[in-house]
Amino acid sequence: MEDIKLMKGNEAIAHAAIRCGADGYFGYPITPQSEVMETLMDEAPWKTTGMVVLQAESEVAAINMVYGGAACGKKVMTSSSSPGISLKQEGISYIAGAELPCLIVNVMRGGPGLGTIQPSQADYFQTVKGGGHGDYRLITLSPASVQEMADFVELGFELAFKYNNPSMILADGIIGQMMEKVVLPDFKPRRTDDETRKQCPWGTMGKVEGEQRHIITSLALEADVMEATNNRLQAKYKKIEEAEVRFEEINCDDADYIFVAFGSGARICASAMEAARAEGIKIGVLRPITLWPFPTKEIARLAKKVKGFMVVEFSAGQMVEDVRLAVNGAVPVEFHGRMGGNVPSSEEIITKFKEKFSIK
Amino acid sequence: MKKEIIIAGFGGQGVLSMGKILAYAGLLENKEVTWMPAYGPEQRGGTANVTVILSDQKISSPMLKFFDIAIVLNQPSMDKFENSVKPGGILIYDSNGMTRKPARKDISVYCTNATDKASEMGAQKTFNMFVLGGLLKIDPMVSIDKVMLGLKKSLPERHHKLLPANEEAMKIGMEIIQKEN
């Protein structure tokens, strides 16, 4: 039998990081994700795999340690929650500009400001529309279960190294704090120095005899050089948009209406869908797994055959803008959200849905 | 089979760990399980609660408004969750410190004197196991064997000497629970 464990989403992140052969974690504690570093400290992987776990003096320091580690081709990560992720934005922009792979985990809490420690999804814009400065994109994975928290660590690193781009796991407080069954990935050894050099020939691991020095920077004062960098980034983002869209559909085939939601919001929508189907209302759930690249094409395809969409988020309505762009006016796109750490119930979602679409 | 349960009380009563033991036993019975604590200001203000779902099928929402079973271990928890029990559902309360009895007539109400019994036996630390025993008497959703196995697996070895006391507490909990309505 597979080894099934019961653990929190945050704990699953930590175990998966060690098991996928990560080289380093740099963080600073903040609720609701402090268990990530606490679990890593308990597991003490520096004694086994050699993975570094370091509590930095601040979020800004942690993301710049990630920048440094990534520049050496190392498999490095950080995690935080909303206000801490805001602090990391400068570093994230630099890492994206320097085209380095790394993994950033955001277990979102209610904002703005210090806000509340309770669950939220209000960092969608920050994550997929920028956050830091400049024309960059983060590959963004949105887990809806503890199992996906574990699985997306490896997937996030894999995509980051495939495209030399930072990946983000964008979870909400529910997924971080909830315990569920999880099968952890198998142990994979950390890469040797030779393997790291081979995978990341651009890395600053010491000058090699007969080769030019490797320079990692996001600075290019000449506009033509900087534009060339941007063109290269945009070409890469286009490739990612073509190849890496991921989503889950539940009962969308025969649906008249579709709920679009991510993370634990999609789980609550699935409960609402089950109750509505028991009443004979054919609803499906579309759950974007990658928030960037966004499943625009799939939503456009569904817009040709359904009567309407309802987007549910733990925010004032952020992803709904991307759904509206995809639907492009073909059918109505309604929205229901809760803010400030509150979460909509499945009963509330059905009531709002019936109101908005005038269904008795 | 699907059981949606809320356990609520003061911090220190073992509310979260009771939920965890139940979830672990569910896992050992090959059920799908979720354990979702209130980790917000409740936790810091003295009251704690956890939602546990055990199911034969994949669990959609881990956050619920209504429950099959509510276990309330202080007055604020009874005030908050009595009306969240589904009609025909079950409410279990500990009599200690309660200023009123539950008012609902459309649900089954059970009372346990777990606090009093535990302190009489000098076994306050296993209070939550008295309550869990009561729950499993009313609704044997998981077996005692699996609860004990789960407890053994989740407790560090240095605490394994406490296992018999926990099992004893559960058995007494089964005896002292009484149906009121």
Task: Name the pLDDT band for A85 (thresholds 50, 70, 90).
Answer: very high
Contact B78/A at CB under 8 A? no
Strand partners, A181: A6
DSSP tag of B157: G
Residue A257: what pLDDT? 98
**Closest to A82 measured CA to CA, from A187, A154, A159, A171:** A171
% pLDDT > 70, chain A: 99
Cα–Cα dist B82/B69, whole Å:
10
The answer to whether residue A88 is domain-embedded is yes
Which of A178, A345, A348 is opposite residue B36, by nearest beta carbon?
A: A178
CB distance A180–B24 less than 8 Å?
no
Q: Tokens 């009123």 identify what position?
A: B100
Task: Please state which of the ranges A16-30, A86-100, A328-342, B43-57 shows the lowest mean pLDDT.
Answer: B43-57
Is pLDDT of B44 > 70? no
The answer to whether residue A148 is domain-embedded is yes
Is pLDDT of B40 > 90? no
Is pLDDT of B107 > 70? yes
Same domain, A271 and A183: no
> How many other C-beta atoms are found inside a 10 Å radius of the C-beta of residue B46?
12
Average confidence (pLDDT) over A124-142: 97
Which of A31, A341, A346 is opposite residue B61, by nearest beta carbon?
A: A346
Which CATH number covers residue A273?
Answer: 3.40.50.920
Contact B67/A at CB under 8 A? no
Contact A334/B at CB under 8 A? no
CB distance B33–A6 less than 8 Å?
yes
pLDDT per position as a tens digit, A179-221: 999 999 999 999 999 999 999 999 999 988 888 999 999 999 9
Residue B43: what pLDDT? 64
User: ipTM, 2 decimals?
Assistant: 0.94
Cβ–Cβ under 8 Å, residues B132 and B21: yes
Same domain, A55 and A115: yes
Average confidence (pLDDT) over A76-85: 98
The answer to whether residue A226 is domain-embedded is no
The answer to whether residue A120 is domain-embedded is yes
Cα–Cα dist B32/B51, whole Å:
14
Task: For chain A, give the longest Cα–Cα distance.
Answer: 76
In which domain, by residue range, is A317 found? 247-356
Contacts of A81 in chain B (CB under 8 A): none
Q: What H or E segment, with its residue span, contains residue A198?
A: helix A193-199
CB distance B63–A31 less than 8 Å?
no
Same domain, A290 and A155: no
Contact A127/B at CB under 8 A? no
Residue B45: what pLDDT? 59
Task: Name the pLDDT band for A360 (thresholds 50, 70, 90).
Answer: confident
Same domain, A20 and A120: yes
CB distance B24–A6 less than 8 Å?
yes
Same domain, A179 and A318: no
Task: Name the pLDDT band for A55 (thresholds 50, 70, 90).
Answer: very high
Contact A116/B at CB under 8 A? yes
pLDDT per position as a tens digit, A294-321: 999 999 999 999 999 999 999 999 999 9
Please report, for residues A99, A272, A294, A336, A337, the alpha-carbon distance to residue A322 in angstroms, rounded to integers and kept in the order given.
26, 22, 8, 15, 15
Same domain, A284 and A158: no
The answer to whether residue A31 is domain-embedded is yes
- Which residues, at least 6 apart from B78, have a Cβ–Cβ distance to it below 8 Å? B72, B91, B93, B98, B100, B102
Contacts of A274 in chain B (CB under 8 A): 60
Same domain, A251 and A177: no
Give the residue on B whose Cα is nearest the Cα of A4: B27
Is pLDDT of A174 > 60? yes
Number of domains present in the structure of chain A? 2
The answer to whether residue A207 is domain-embedded is no
User: What's chain A's average pLDDT?
Assistant: 97
pLDDT per position as a tens digit, B172-181: 999 999 999 8
User: What's chain B's average pLDDT?
Assistant: 94
Same domain, A135 and A282: no
Average confidence (pLDDT) over A63-71: 98
Question: Residue A352 is encoded by which pair of tokens?
Answer: 């709002």
Cα–Cα dist A266/A171, whole Å:
12
The answer to whether residue A317 is domain-embedded is yes
Task: Name the pLDDT band for A354 (thresholds 50, 70, 90).
Answer: very high
Cβ–Cβ under 8 Å, residues A85 and A123: yes
Cα–Cα dist B148/B128, whole Å:
14
The answer to whether residue A233 is domain-embedded is no
Domain boundary among A195, A216, A236: A195
Which CATH number covers residue A111?
Answer: 3.40.50.970
- Which residues, at least 6 apart from A334, have a Cβ–Cβ distance to it below 8 Å? A308, A309, A310, A311, A352, A353, A356, A357
Cα–Cα dist A176/A9, whole Å:
4
Is pLDDT of A338 > 90? yes
Is pLDDT of A1 > 60? no
pLDDT per position as a tens digit, A216-258: 999 999 999 999 999 999 999 999 999 999 999 999 999 999 9
Residue A127: what pLDDT? 98
Same domain, A324 and A178: no
Domains in chain B, please, with CATH? 2-179 (3.40.920.10)
CB distance B39–A180 less than 8 Å?
no
Which of B27, B37, B61 is opposite residue A267, by nearest beta carbon?
A: B61
Residue B42: what pLDDT? 67
Residue B154: what pLDDT? 76
CB distance B62–A4 less than 8 Å?
no
Same domain, A118 and A251: no
Which of B23, B36, B63 is opposite residue A6, by nearest beta carbon?
A: B23
Contacts of B24 in chain A (CB under 8 A): 6
Contact B56/A at CB under 8 A? no
Is pLDDT of B153 > 90? no
Same domain, A83 and A147: yes
Q: What is the pTM of this model?
A: 0.96
Question: Residue B152 is encoded by which pair of tokens?
Answer: 């053994």
The A283-288 sheet, strands edge to edge: A247-250, A283-288, A257-260, A308-313, A333-337
Average confidence (pLDDT) over B54-75: 97
Give the residue on B whose Cα is nearest the Cα of A173: B39
Cα–Cα dist A128/A313, whole Å:
15
Residue B26: what pLDDT? 97
More confident residue, B152 or A236: A236
Q: What is the CA radius of gyration of chain A?
A: 21
% pLDDT > 90, chain A: 97
